[in-house]
């Protein structure tokens, strides 16, 4: 029984501890973060962020710490004693706790001496020095100084009664710590029980009547003091009354009554109202205003768009934050310095007009939500200005401004670049008018309700098809490029292309375009006309005349005479299903009518199929889509996966080795019927067929006395030596040429003429090819001029003066951060494209603890992904998650570039240059394999000398370099 009681007691105690930990207030969480950031300065030190040029200070949270900005303005870090502690001369940090005194004396110790003085004048001193337990929201000295003179004079006159009442309104007759100041709570003050209203926001800011607590939790013997940044006044009216008595809100008052929102604003709640002034309503065109005021649904949406579901004081905003309105959509509430902003605009003229059930902020511009707009208004001010102009020129304005249920497909402005619409903007032909009419669908739709194969009818009577892909949602060739804009009666889909309605079958599309005249003849010769005319869904990568003309006359004639082979070629260009360019993502595959799957990808807004670029995409047909290509598409060579280093070796087979074949014709061997063969058995690519080799072993003299098992073992030994010997010869040939100048076209071949005996043991050598060398079958080709270099044990590369860097997995580089986009940084490393660097790719980085990386920073990083078909990817940690020297560079230092050949001479064991340099000038040096060096020495002069020396080494011999270093050491700078 006692054991059970003990267990239950422990569980209850643990539950209470967990509850306390979870229930920690946002302010306490931010205070704890400030303590962590300030602990290097000593015990009980808090890091504060102070707005430059002002006295405003904030306890720092994780996001603000890394951004170093509040309300878009830069901050500086200051260190102060955390609440309740003070410094001791000669000691680090704030080791001493403040002595507990009464509230009156505490006011003088926490920077509220003006409140202390007015407490004396109002005869309040005796009360706050005596017994009791009070909470005093004490205005700071700056808060009293900010009061208008006439208000301050009125407070201190009238035998100090008004001043005493004002101070009593700042007091609550009980002790309330920051933990007890919960969001939305209110407490009766000591002035006629008028309530003070508390808001405790998720970012750690606490307000009382919208005044921010700047020094909370200053304990006293008879209570607690919270220093606030303004003098607060008693509240007796609700927000409806505030609107009702202000003549500047007369139009808003009338609109509220017409929409039936008066009762809601009189009830209890926590509303934030962005109240448009009369001036704001006058800025709206009278026609638009009359339409909205005369439409109860649009008017209610308009007004609800100005009301937030919760109370938001101006002091609680430190950065742009999306907030939900009563209308259901989001409104971005932010700040820019001292100004409060809405959707990025500083349109708030008066802040924090507090009522008992909410707060009002005055704005001088009316906010019209999409749900109160007609189509023409949805399109205004967006990135579809060209399309809007064309709709108007086509005479479609009545549809765009009426109450008809429609969906508009609005192409982006970039979709019209180079288009006839722009070149001949003054001519609206009937065909162009019909095309614009077909961009309007007959019903109001949502993109979320569309499905694959759905047909949509346009105002022009045309049927458009919907295609759903993994990465896109398309209507014919135009894919949706932004979120829907849902208006009062209609919806706008922003699309990436001008719509190309289908005009006939695939065969009709080819016949109508002179670029495909040779293809049309080939289709007819191959007997495929009916296939391209019948109903279905095909994707045709159609070779243009240029593609056929690129063939030699012999090849072309041979192809045209062989109907079966020609049909095989064309069927390899025909894919099953409809695939428009917008549906192509990375590593998209499409099954052709004959042959292996086609590999598609998108690079620089161009579609590639089997590495052949599409010259003209998305020629729409009723039974498919045509993409023009200027080359005949051929199968890609099969991909041979390398054996895993830690995996088991593939067993040798005594039977015929398996082969992987990729072919796109039948058994005919013509100019297009190339067959790629990759042997996956043990003797692949090393000599004669393994079946013949096995039979030779069986017929050999030494095998006549062996059984089948012994023969197979002997075959394995022979085969291993057969494979290994050419590798040894290759390795030896390369080592003999190290140091020689080689030119593109030079090659090293596997010599299979020399065989080993069945009893000779051979150790196979693995050759690692670096930059400038490429293996092609049994040959090693030199593809870049330079000097052949070797690094133990088995790496070879071509050393040249090249400066263009090609990324390689595992190499470390120095990059420059150019863009911050969401969770990813773009880094320039000197290649043909930029690399991506995730904010999580730093040591210790989490979603809450982000690294402080800014545009322009230098980073030392390593490639984890380097593929010509994919965007390079960098990380600043090693395989164990440690930085290991990688990350953002500190201040100072100099960045400069050298050739890639010189950089490789800095790699161990070839470090003579760096050894000589360190003896000459001690310095910090970071070497990037992309040809960038960063150096920092004790003085700027030495740093410049080191950079000049290293750049000079690029064209010097070892002897010349040593002579130069000796001269510098002797003082000849």
pLDDT given at position 643: 35
Let me know how many helices (H) and strands (E) the chain has, helices first: 32, 53
- Identify which has the larger pLDDT, 341 or 687: 341
pLDDT given at position 411: 93
pLDDT given at position 655: 31
pLDDT of 771 strictly over 90: no
Confidence of residue 425 (pLDDT cuts 50, 70, 90): low
Distance in angstroms (rounded) separating the CA atoms of residues 248 and 228: 30
pLDDT of 577 strictly over 60: yes
- Identify which has the larger pLDDT, 908 or 840: 840
DSSP letters, 174-219, are: S---GGG--TT-EEEBTTTTPEEEEEE-TTS-EEETTEEEEEEEEE
pLDDT digits 0-9 by tens, 507-561: 999 999 999 999 999 999 999 999 999 998 999 999 999 999 999 988 889 989 8
Burial class of 728 by CB neighbour count within 10 A (0 to 12, 13 to 18, 19+): middle
Bond before 909 cis per omega within 30 degrees: yes
Confidence of residue 695 (pLDDT cuts 50, 70, 90): low
Distance in angstroms (rounded) separating the CA atoms of residues 603 and 584: 10
pLDDT given at position 2: 45
pLDDT given at position 587: 81
Laid out side by side, the sheet with 339-342 consists of 321-324, 330-336, 339-342
Average confidence (pLDDT) over 167-179: 95
pLDDT given at position 340: 92
Distance in angstroms (rounded) separating the CA atoms of residues 818 and 858: 10
Confidence of residue 572 (pLDDT cuts 50, 70, 90): very high
pLDDT given at position 967: 82
Average confidence (pLDDT) over 639-644: 42
Q: With left for phi above 0 and alpha for psi between -120 and 50, is residue 32 left, alpha or beta?
A: alpha
pLDDT digits 0-9 by tens, 924-945: 888 998 889 988 888 888 888 8
pLDDT of 702 strictly over 50: no
pLDDT digits 0-9 by tens, 196-205: 999 999 999 9
pLDDT of 678 strictly over 70: no
pLDDT given at position 426: 56
User: Which of 249-263, 361-375, 865-879, 903-917 shows the lowest mean pLDDT across its residues?
Assistant: 903-917
Give the residue from 146, 135, 149 showing the smallest Cα distance to 213: 135
Distance in angstroms (rounded) separating the CA atoms of residues 632 and 520: 15
Looking at the DSSP bridge assignments, the partners of residue 936 are: 924
Burial class of 559 by CB neighbour count within 10 A (0 to 12, 13 to 18, 19+): buried
Residue with tokens 């005869």: 123
pLDDT digits 0-9 by tens, 592-634: 999 999 999 988 889 999 999 999 999 999 999 999 999 999 9
- Contact at 8 Å (CB) between 347 and 364? yes
pLDDT of 766 strictly over 80: no
pLDDT given at position 185: 93
pLDDT given at position 722: 39
- Identify which has the larger pLDDT, 192 or 10: 192
Distance in angstroms (rounded) separating the CA atoms of residues 303 and 295: 12
- C-alpha 364: how far from its chain's center? 35
Indicate the average pLDDT of the chain.
82
Which among 118-122, 218-222, 795-799 has the top mean pLDDT?
Answer: 218-222
pLDDT digits 0-9 by tens, 320-364: 889 999 998 899 999 998 899 998 899 999 999 999 999 999 999
pLDDT given at position 765: 58
pLDDT of 664 strictly over 80: no
Structure tokens at 330: 């989001």
Average confidence (pLDDT) over 221-242: 94
pLDDT of 10 strictly over 80: no
Confidence of residue 273 (pLDDT cuts 50, 70, 90): very high
pLDDT given at position 669: 38
pLDDT given at position 690: 45
Percent of the chain with pLDDT over 70: 84
User: Which of 236-240, 800-804, 903-907 shows the lowest mean pLDDT across its residues?
Assistant: 800-804
Average confidence (pLDDT) over 644-648: 34
- Identify which has the larger pLDDT, 885 or 102: 102
Give the residue from 659, 668, 698 showing the smallest Cα distance to 594: 668
Distance in angstroms (rounded) separating the CA atoms of residues 544 and 346: 56
pLDDT given at position 914: 79
Percent of the chain with pLDDT over 90: 48
pLDDT of 651 strictly over 80: no
pLDDT given at position 423: 52
Confidence of residue 757 (pLDDT cuts 50, 70, 90): very low
Angle among Cα 378, 380, 385 to the nearest 5 degrees reads 120
Burial class of 255 by CB neighbour count within 10 A (0 to 12, 13 to 18, 19+): buried
Q: Angle, to 10 degrees, between the axis of helix 296-304 and the axis of helix 250-259?
A: 120
């Amino acid at each position: 029984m006692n054991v059970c009681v003990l267990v239950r007691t422990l569980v209850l105690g643990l539950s209470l501890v967990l509850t306390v930990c979870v229930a920690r207030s946002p302010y306490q969480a931010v205070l704890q973060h400030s303590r962590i950031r300030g602990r290097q300065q000593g015990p009980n030190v808090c890091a504060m962020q102070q707005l430059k040029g002002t006295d405003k200070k904030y306890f720092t949270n994780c996001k603000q710490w890394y951004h170093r900005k509040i309300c878009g303005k830069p901050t500086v870090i200051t260190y102060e004693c955390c609440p309740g502690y003070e410094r001791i001369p000669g000691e680090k940090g704030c080791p001493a706790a403040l002595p507990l005194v009464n509230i009156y004396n505490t006011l003088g110790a926490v920077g509220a001496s003006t409140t202390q003085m007015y407490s004396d004048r109002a005869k309040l001193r005796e009360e706050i020095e005596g017994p009791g337990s009070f909470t005093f929201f004490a205005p700071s000295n700056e808060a009293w100084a900010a009061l208008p003179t006439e208000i301050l004079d009125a407070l201190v006159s009238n035998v100090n009664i008004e001043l005493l009442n004002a101070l009593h309104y700042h007091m609550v007759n009980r002790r309330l710590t920051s933990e007890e100041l919960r969001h939305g709570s209110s407490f009766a003050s000591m002035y006629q029980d008028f309530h003070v209203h508390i808001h405790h926001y998720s970012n750690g800011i606490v307000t009382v009547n919208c005044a921010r607590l700047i020094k909370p939790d200053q304990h006293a013997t008879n209570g607690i003091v919270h220093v606030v940044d303004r003098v607060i006044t008693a509240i007796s009216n609700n927000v409806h009354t505030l609107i009702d008595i202000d003549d500047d809100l007369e139009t808003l008052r009338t609109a509220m009554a017409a929409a039936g929102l008066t009762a809601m604003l009189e009830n209890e709640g926590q509303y934030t109202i962005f109240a448009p002034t009369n001036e704001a309503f006058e800025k709206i065109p009278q026609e638009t205003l009359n339409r909205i005021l005369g439409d109860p649904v649009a008017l209610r949406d308009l007004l609800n768009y100005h009301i937030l579901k919760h109370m938001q004081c101006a002091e609680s905003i430190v950065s742009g934050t999306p907030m939900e309105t009563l209308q259901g959509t989001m409104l971005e509430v932010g700040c820019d310095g001292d100004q409060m902003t809405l959707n990025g605009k500083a349109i708030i003229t008066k802040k924090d007009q507090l009522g008992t059930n909410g707060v009002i902020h005055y704005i001088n511009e009316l906010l019209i939500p999409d749900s109160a707009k007609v189509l023409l208004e949805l399109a205004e001010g967006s990135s579809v200005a060209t399309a809007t102009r064309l709709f108007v020129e086509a005479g479609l304005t009545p549809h765009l401004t009426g109450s008809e249920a429609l969906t508009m497909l609005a192409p982006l402005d970039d979709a019209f670049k180079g288009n006839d619409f722009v070149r001949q903007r003054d001519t609206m032909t009937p065909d162009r008018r019909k095309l614009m009419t077909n961009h309007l669908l007959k019903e109001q739709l949502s993109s979320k309700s569309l499905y694959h194969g759905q047909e949509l009818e346009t105002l022009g009577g045309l049927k458009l098809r919907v295609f759903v892909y993994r990465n896109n949602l398309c209507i014919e060739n135009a894919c949706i490029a932004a979120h829907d804009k849902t208006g009062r009666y209609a919806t706008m889909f922003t699309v990436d292309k001008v719509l190309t309605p289908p005009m006939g079958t695939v065969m009709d599309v080819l016949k109508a375009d002179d670029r495909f005249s040779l293809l049309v003849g080939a289709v007819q010769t191959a007997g495929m006309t009916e296939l391209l005319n019948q109903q279905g869904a095909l994707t045709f990568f159609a070779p243009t005349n240029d593609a056929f003309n690129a063939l030699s006359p012999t090849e072309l004639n041979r192809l045209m005479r062989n109907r079966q082979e020609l049909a095989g070629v064309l069927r390899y260009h025909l894919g099953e299903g409809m695939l428009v360019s917008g549906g192509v993502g990375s590593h998209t595959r499409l099954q052709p009518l004959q042959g292996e799957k086609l590999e598609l990808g998108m690079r620089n807004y161009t579609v590639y199929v089997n590495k052949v670029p599409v010259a003209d995409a998305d020629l729409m047909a009723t039974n498919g889509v045509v993409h023009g290509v200027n080359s005949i598409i051929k199968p890609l060579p099969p991909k041979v996966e390398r054996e895993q280093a830690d995996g088991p070796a593939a067993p040798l087979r005594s039977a015929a080795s398996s082969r992987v074949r990729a072919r796109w014709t039948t058994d005919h061997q013509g100019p297009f019927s190339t067959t790629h063969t990759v042997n996956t058995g043990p003797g692949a690519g090393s000599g004669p067929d393994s079946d013949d080799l096995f039979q030779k072993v069986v017929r050999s003299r030494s095998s006549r006395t062996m059984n089948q098992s012994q023969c197979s073992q002997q075959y394995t030994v022979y085969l291993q030596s057969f494979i290994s010997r050419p590798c040894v010869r290759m390795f030896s040939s390369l080592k003999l040429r190290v140091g020689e100048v080689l030119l593109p076209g030079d090659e090293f071949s596997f010599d299979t003429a020399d065989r080993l005996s069945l009893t000779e043991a051979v150790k196979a050598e693995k050759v690692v090819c670096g930059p400038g060398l490429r293996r092609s079958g049994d040959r090693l080709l030199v593809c870049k001029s330079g000097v052949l270099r070797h690094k133990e044990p088995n790496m070879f590369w071509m050393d040249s003066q090249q400066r263009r860097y090609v990324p390689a997995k595992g190499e470390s580089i120095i990059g420059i951060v150019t863009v911050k986009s969401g969770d990813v940084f773009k880094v320039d490393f000197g290649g043909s494209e930029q690399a991506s660097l995730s904010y999580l790719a730093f040591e210790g980085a989490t979603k809450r603890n982000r690294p402080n990386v800014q545009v322009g920073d230098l980073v030392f990083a390593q490639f984890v992904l380097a593929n010509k078909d994919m965007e390079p990817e960098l990380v600043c940690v090693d395989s164990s998650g440690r930085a290991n020297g990688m990350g953002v560079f500190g201040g100072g230092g100099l960045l400069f570039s050298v050739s890639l050949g010189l950089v490789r001479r800095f790699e161990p064991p070839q470090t003579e240059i760096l050894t000589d340099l360190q003896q000459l000038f001690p310095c910090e040096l970071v070497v990037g394999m992309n040809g960038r060096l960063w150096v920092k020495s004790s003085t700027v002069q030495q740093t410049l000398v080191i950079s000049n020396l290293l750049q000079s080494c690029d064209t010097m011999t070892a002897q010349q370099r040593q002579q130069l270093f000796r001269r510098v050491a002797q003082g000849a700078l």
